[in-house]
Structure 1
Amino acid sequence: MAVVGGKGPWLARMICHNLPVHEYGKFNTSIIEDEDIAADIHLHLQSLGKWIRAEDIVHYVGTPEFQARLKIKKGISVRTAQRWMKRMEYRWKAELKGQYSDGHEREDNVEYRQKKFLPVWKELESVSRWWKEDGTEDGDARERVLAADPNGRVVVIWRHDESIFYGNDRRKIRWIHSSETAKPYAKGEGASLMVGDFVSPDYGWLKGKETNSDGSAIKSARKFLRPGKTRDGYQTTEDIIEQATIAMDILDTDYPDEQHVFAYDNATIHTARAPNALSATGMPVNPHQNYLRKVKDRDRQKERTVRIKNGIFRDGTVQELYYPDCHPKYPGWFKGTRVLIQEWREKGHDLPDVWALKNPGSKFFKINGACKKKCEVGRTNCCYRRILYLEPDFMNQKSLLEEHCEARGYSYHCELNCIEQCWGYAKRVYRMFPTSSLEADLKTNTISALESVPLVSMRRFATCSLRFADSYFHGLSGAEAAWANKKYRGHRTIPPDFRAELDVHFHKNTV
């Protein structure tokens, strides 16, 4: 610079002496641009394990050793620490792992949803309470009910589900460095606790109104189970029915002025039929002396047999499936599917004649008891089992749980369940508790996490499920319903003119 200015060595010495010294905090460059400092912070974060936070950098920069090293007196904010983590290639996201898939768009699921679930859901929705974003009631449900039925009552829908809390279940979303790869992990390691409960946007978790001195409810529908062969075993249909009985007792006592509906998912344990339920599977074609159903006790150790219950003709009369004990040829025997079908024909049912001859003087027209493979699609008389299955009393056979609920005057339905979001909220809180392998801590933390779910959040979750149901009702697919739910999250239902915006959005993302 001195040479360019036409000066000598003296000016060169003066320029070198007066060059500004870099001081952190006084220029636009960031401390984290220094590779040594970034490496030091990165090493510190690695020493803390995988559950790191931006606050950890704030605390580290605030230590006297770090400040003395950089000759600074002030710390940094959390927002600055978050920017530093992004500069060091950390991202706040879920751990890398395999993906799950379900049969949400499967043909049979879509058919059930559109033809059975959604019509019932729309009917229940019209006579239940609606909720705004702030948790207040949207309109007067009682006025809607009286307009539909002067003697009707407001419907309260109780969603039921089970979920498992693991003793070592911790946060899944954290700061993850770009160099970190996916690692296998075992789901459900350590002690676990299964929780089954009912929830409604009207009242929250299902509890009795009477409380203890500490404010906790004396009666609650919540049930705990320690799953495992060496612990409490595994949940059975009998456990589900027992819990439903407790729930109905609470509602009969504390909420008698409303109509209550239990909504379960389609899990096998909820849809299991009674041991003596009507089922064509395995029924013999001809009369059988010892055709009985095998039933195991609660512990699945002892076994007993029961008779299949009677059927119902289309005119409402009872059909005995067993011959009377005084029958001269088959006393107490099971009649067989051929005889049952013939009895239906005599009652006017439009069924094939199992005794018809192929040709005059030939053998009877033969129909197999059951097809060797799956019955051909569209066939109604390919085998005796198919003929039986299509009869109303066989086809509409209810589950054991549904029969139990209806016997007490309660409705039962399978539906889109917003309780899953309540579990998610509770588990997010649960994962913030200190790690402990003690089962006592597991239960205490689980209860605390469940009770932390606010009622206003439950109502928002219920409104979210209403939007999804309305989206499916309009024929949207899963991806389209998710878009509509996010787009119109301030609404209980999607607006009538949603189609134009939806078409624009999906066209824009596919071209």
Structure 2
Amino acid sequence: MFLAAYVRSGSAAGWGSQSLQTAVAYQKGPARARLLRRWTRSFLADRHALPVPLANTWTISLLDRQSDLKEAICEHLQAMGKYVRAVDIVHFMADPANMVRYGLTKAVCLSTAQSWMHALEYRWTKVPSGQFVDGHERVDVVNYRQSRFLPEMARSDPHARQWDREGNAVPAPANVARPLEKPVVYWWHDESVFYAHDRRQTRWVHKSEKAVPRAKGEGASLMVADFVSADYGWLRSPDGKESARVLFKPGKNRDGYFTHEEILTHATTAMDILQHHFPHEHHILIFDNAPTHLKRAADALSARHMSKFPTQADKPLFGVETNVHDPATGKAVYASDGKLLKTKVRMGDGRLPNGERQSLYYEEGHPREGVFRGMAELLEERGYENARKLPAQCPEFKCKPPAIDCCCRRLMFNQPDFRDVETLLETHCKARGVEVLFLPKFHCELNCIEQCWGHAKRTYRKFPPSSAEADLQKNVVAALDSVPLVSIRRFYTRAHRFMDAYRRGLNGKQAAWAAKKYRSHRVLPESLLNDLDEAGLGAPGSSSSD
């Protein structure tokens, strides 16, 4: 650059000034200008005499000079567990044996240890989070998933539209049986909470930016309950004037809480829209396994707290606790401490194997009229003659599978009239001709609306911060409506990839790996078994470490 500028100047007097201008352009001074003139004279005398930088031996890290040091530090950090620190390297290197081994006269400082953490590919960041696994592989959860949920989905899937990655409908194979008359549309339900102060925290920050005061806490909250489908998006009428979306301000001194009664009202609103605007399709409402969704009638059969023998005279009535409701409004009544008021009602009648009614209480005219009869007597009436010899229940009710007659409570649980009690939500929707399906517990990956919430919250966090509840509601609605239909269809396809994985016997960890690896597929390939082995995840059905 210096030589070219000097030649272009055409003046012999510009030798010194041009060298200084070149040095200044690189933020250097007269010393660099003198070096430029020296290097240029040498180059003019010998075209091979190019300036070569000195070997930078003084900044080569000890990690690079000592070939075994990196491996030793890695082993030491692994032995420290998950929560490793840069100071662990300082302590490791301060060990006298290590100082002699690596030729150190003094221990490394903390800043050096921090740079070594980067060289060892550690980063100070949030821990990557995957799907929840608490109870995911529990025996009863897996049994419900494999024997109830997946077969129900397999029955209706041939009637439901499937989508490619661009959101286009994929023609269904002609050789697939279709026992239903109408096309199926799945409507996935869930609730989610948005907070006023929830904003994006990670971004590019200019060094001149200063800290500014911010609001403390999460701020006001707004709960959203809605239905979504891959066919139509959020549940609303074609003209957009009717919507199933519910905006709810949760809290004791606000709108209260989203109870089972609100769930029934929400389902009614959804069914009204579906049957008025989409009558030519078979609609299936899919809910998660939350207690508010699974509530049964107040007197529904349950063996959970039954005693083996009749209730003693000094004990209270055996029955089911239910909420007290205001006769005028029908809403639940709260006590002064903010808790729901409860009352006990008698449990309903059971059904004997021959279909006859079986009262759980001694009937009128009996010396102990109205007293609970006990599981042993009820089972004897159902044909289990040795019921009195069985324990009331196994320790902590953890019966060893595949036992089904090990204790009185397990026998009662497996009786058809106890096992197959409909929820109020199922009864309510069935009366309108709408099917209800419950997701397995702990399986949020099967509910595509979960990803819709995530997409909406990413958009919501980009809005200007505000503590006003009016802004909160406006921003929440805008964020929800910003979720594209093509994304919803991709979320739907992802949920079906997980279902396909579980049908093939994969556990939660294997299914998560497969769903991510084959994210461009609607179903998993035939090479799945080999791919799992190559990834070191074992064969389907093997135990999972999660």
CA-to-aligned-CA distance 1:97-123 (integer Å, 9 cap, x gap): 796853264333444333332222222
CA-to-aligned-CA distance 1:284-328 (integer Å, 9 cap, x gap): 444458433231232344433322122223344433323443x34
Q: How many residues align?
A: 401
Does structure 1 residue 342 correspond to structure 2 residue 376?
no
Amino acid at match of 1:243: H
Provide the residue aligned with 2:473 in structure 1.
443
- TM normalised by structure 1 equals 0.70
Shifted more, 481-490 versus 389-398: the winner is 481-490
CA-to-aligned-CA distance 1:158-182 (integer Å, 9 cap, x gap): 10111110101111443489xxxxx
CA-to-aligned-CA distance 1:25-47 (integer Å, 9 cap, x gap): 99xxxxxxxxxxxxxxxxxxxxx
What's the CA shift for 1:375?
4.5
Cα separation, 2, equivalents of 1:293 and 1:312: 18
Percent same amino acid among aligned pairs? Answer: 42
Shifted more, 243-252 versus 114-123: the winner is 114-123
Shifted more, 406-415 versus 251-260: the winner is 406-415
Does structure 1 residue 292 correspond to structure 2 residue 331?
no
Provide the residue aligned with 2:69 in structure 1.
none
Cα separation, 2, equivalents of 1:176 and 1:113: 46
8 Å Cα contact 2:285-2:434 kept in structure 1: yes
2:484 to 451, 454, 465: 454
8 Å Cα contact 1:198-1:221 kept in structure 2: yes
Shifted more, 242-251 versus 194-203: the winner is 242-251
User: Secondary structure at the residue paired with 2:292?
Assistant: helix
Does structure 1 residue 154 correspond to structure 2 residue 154?
no
Unaligned runs of 5+ in 2: 1-11, 28-117, 207-213, 325-331, 336-340, 440-445, 538-546
What's the CA shift for 1:130?
0.6
Amino acid at match of 1:499: L
- TM normalised by structure 2 equals 0.65
> What are the residue-to-residue correspondences of 1:202-217 with 2, within 5 Å?
202-209=231-238, 211=239, 216-217=240-241
Provide the residue aligned with 1:306 in structure 2.
345
Shifted more, 125-134 versus 186-195: the winner is 186-195
User: Secondary structure at the residue paired with 1:102?
Assistant: coil
Provide the residue aligned with 1:135 in structure 2.
167
Change (3 A) 1:24 1:224: farther
8 Å Cα contact 2:133-2:508 kept in structure 1: no
Does structure 1 residue 107 correspond to structure 2 residue 138?
yes
Change (3 A) 1:195 1:138: same
Change (3 A) 1:98 1:125: closer
8 Å Cα contact 2:361-2:371 kept in structure 1: yes
1:353 to 366, 381, 386: 386
User: Secondary structure at the residue paired with 2:228?
Assistant: strand
What's the CA shift for 1:366?
4.1
> What are the residue-to-residue correspondences of 1:146-185 with 2, within 5 Å?
147-149=177-179, 152-175=181-204
Change (3 A) 1:477 1:382: closer
Cα separation, 1, equivalents of 2:26 and 2:245: 56
Change (3 A) 1:505 1:373: closer
Does structure 1 residue 246 correspond to structure 2 residue 285?
no
What's the CA shift for 1:449?
0.7
Provide the residue aligned with 2:428 in structure 1.
404
Provide the residue aligned with 1:36 in structure 2.
none
Change (3 A) 1:172 1:264: farther
What's the CA shift for 1:465?
1.1
What's the CA shift for 1:195?
0.5
Provide the residue aligned with 1:318 in structure 2.
357
Unaligned runs of 5+ in 1: 1-11, 27-88, 178-184, 346-350, 355-364
CA-to-aligned-CA distance 1:346-383 (integer Å, 9 cap, x gap): xxxxx2434xxxxxxxxxx6444445643441444444
What's the CA shift for 1:477?
3.6
Provide the residue aligned with 1:21 in structure 2.
22
What's the CA shift for 1:417?
0.1
What's the CA shift for 1:437?
0.3
CA-to-aligned-CA distance 1:452-486 (integer Å, 9 cap, x gap): 11111111111111112112222234443333333
Provide the residue aligned with 2:50 in structure 1.
none
CA RMSD of aligned residues (A): 3.5
Cα separation, 2, equivalents of 1:119 and 1:500: 26
Cα separation, 2, equivalents of 1:486 and 1:98: 15
8 Å Cα contact 1:94-1:172 kept in structure 2: no
